[in-house]
Amino acid sequence: MSSAALGIRQVKYTNKAFWRNPASAFFTFAFPIMFLIIFTTLFGNHQVQVLPHVSVRQSTFYVAAMSAFAVITACYTNIAIQTAFSRDAGILKRIRGTPLPAGSYLAGRVLHAMIVAVILVVLNVTYGVIFYSASVPTRTLPAFLITLLVGAASFAALGLAITTIIPNADASPAIVNASILPILFLSDIFIPVNNAPAWVDVVGKIFPVRHFADAMQAAFFSPTGSGFRWTDLAVIALWGLFGVVIAVRFFSWEPRR
């Protein structure tokens, strides 16, 4: 079998195991929807400016924002925590002792996370369409899909990269959440960032989350044009590439005890 076929085969097993862990599967799916409902209930009726000259109801804003959040949860948070657990459990070390190419194994995981992310976004948008009269981004669909894929792949790469500084599985949820939660708050995901202090914008410009949120909003709400935000996509992809480089250089297949 080719490396690609082995990778796709790996998706099948990863997927089986994923759905058989009900707690993990439930929370992966419940969180974005739950946040969507909570945020919308609390702030749903305000108007938010999402693009120059474009304002939407905050509930609609959250459909886009929670889609971005769902992708980050599925790809960055989940991959990082699960990989740290597999490493500590000796699963990665055992895989390393077989002829399965390392790339096929990791690609299988990343691909699975991306599939989960896409399902999450579809659920999120469907929920938004039904309950918050959000509209499906049909005209800007190419931008929406490309943004989704670039974001998912890049955050997955960063998820693998951060495992290189996680000492053990017990520490992984804390480290992963500490690395992402503050940025989520400052990056137009949980709270619309308007008229914030300058340093918040600096944080947004440096890290990929704000770029991803902006690109998602553009893909959702652009009244004209294709909805592509190439600069944001480039920054996200650059972070993804950085993740790949770190992962390739420092990824560990053995528990760090």
Partner 1 sequence: MDAAIDVRGLRKSYADVEAVRDVNLSVAVGEVFALLGPNGAGKTTIVEILEGYRSRTAGEVSVLGEDPDRAGRSLKARIGIVLQSTGVDPYLTVAETVDMYRGYYPSPRPLDEVIDLVGLEQKRDTRVLKLSGGQQRRLDVAIALAGDPELLFLDEPTTGFDPSARRNAWEIVKNLATLGKTVFLTTHYMDEAQYLADRVAVIAAGKIVAEGPPARLGGRDTATAVVRFRLSGADVSLPSSIASEVAAEDGGFRYQSEDPTRFLNELTGWALQSGVRLEGLNVSRPTLEDVYLRLTAEAEHPEMAEAVS
Q: Quick check: 4 binds partner 1 (CB under 8 A)?
A: no
Q: Quick check: 2 binds partner 1 (CB under 8 A)?
A: no
Phi, psi of 48 (to 5 degrees): -125, 135
Q: Which is nearer to partner 1, 22 or 52 (CB)?
A: 22
Asked if 56 contacts 48 with a C-beta cutoff of 8 angstroms, the reply is yes
Q: How far is the CB of 91 from partner 1 (least distance, A)?
A: 5
Q: Which of 28, 58, 73, 86 binds partner 1 (CB under 8 A)?
A: 86
- Max CA-CA distance within the chain? 57
Q: Which residues from 10-29 bind partner 1, rule CB under 8 A?
A: 13, 16-17, 20-21
Structure-block tokens of residue 111? 């691909």
- Residue 114 Rama label (left phi>0; alpha psi -120 to 50; beta): alpha
What is the b/e burial string over 110-131, where b = at least 16 CB atoms within 10 angstroms of the residue's CB?
bbbbbbbbbebbebbbebbeee
Q: Which residues from 143-172 bind partner 1, rule CB under 8 A?
A: none
Asked if 134 contacts 37 with a C-beta cutoff of 8 angstroms, the reply is no
Computed from CA positions of residues 128, 207, 164, 94, in that sequence, does the dihedral angle turn out positive or negative? positive
Q: Quick check: 78 binds partner 1 (CB under 8 A)?
A: no
What CA–CA distance (Å, rounded) separates 50 from 39?
16
Q: How far is the CB of 9 from partner 1 (least distance, A)?
A: 6
Q: Which is nearer to partner 1, 52 or 97 (CB)?
A: 97
Binding-residue total with partner 1 (CB under 8 A):
21
What CA–CA distance (Å, rounded) separates 160 from 243?
7
**Which of 97-105, 127-135, 200-208, 223-231 is the region at the interface with partner 1 (rule: CB under 8 A)?**
97-105
Q: How far is the CB of 117 from partner 1 (least distance, A)?
A: 20
Q: Which of 42, 49, 96, 202 binds partner 1 (CB under 8 A)?
A: 96
What CA–CA distance (Å, rounded) separates 188 from 110?
25
Q: Quick check: 93 binds partner 1 (CB under 8 A)?
A: yes
What CA–CA distance (Å, rounded) separates 29 from 121?
10
Structure-block tokens of residue 244? 């790949």
Residue 174 C-beta-side C-alpha neighbours within 13 Å = 6
Q: Which is nearer to partner 1, 91 or 244 (CB)?
A: 91
Q: Quick check: 46 binds partner 1 (CB under 8 A)?
A: no
Q: How far is the CB of 28 from partner 1 (least distance, A)?
A: 14
Q: How far is the CB of 211 from partner 1 (least distance, A)?
A: 34
The binding site for partner 1 (CB under 8 A) comprises: 1, 6, 9, 13, 16-17, 20-21, 86, 89-91, 93-94, 96-101, 254
